[in-house]
Amino acid sequence: MPTILPPGVFQILPPSTALLLFFPIALLLLVAYKIYNLIAVPASLRNIPTVPFWANLYSFMNREPFDQREKGMVVPRLGEKEGIVLVSD
């Protein structure tokens, strides 16, 4: 059965090359995990209704007045849970 992969694709890397690849990848994953933990919403706050960032940005870029933006995006979400809304700026 012919293969479409070139010969030697599944060749095992030498140990020194494997270590040189492993540590930068591990470091990158660790940094990505730390960044995610910094910007992720805590589990206790995930039930708060939010105004979507892109909808808020679109409204701002179209120079919609603040009171119309509040009436159209924030007020409908106030009654959903506890009367608070998370607005991302």
Instruction: Decide: pTM greater than 0.95.
Output: no
Query: Across residues 10-39, what is the average pLDDT?
Result: 82
pLDDT mean across residues, the chain: 80
User: What pLDDT shows up at residue 17?
Assistant: 72
**Cβ–Cβ < 8 Å for 76, 87:** no
User: What pLDDT shows up at residue 83?
Assistant: 75
Which residues, listed in sequence order, are joined to residue 50 by a DSSP beta bridge? Answer: 86
Residue 57 above 60 pLDDT? Answer: yes
**Rounded Cα distance, 52 and 59, in Å:** 11
Q: Among residues of the chain, what percentage have pLDDT more than 90? A: 19
Residue 3 above 70 pLDDT? Answer: no
Residue 69 above 80 pLDDT? Answer: yes
User: What pLDDT shows up at residue 87?
Assistant: 75
Within 13 Å and on the Cβ side, how many CA atoms surround 28? 5
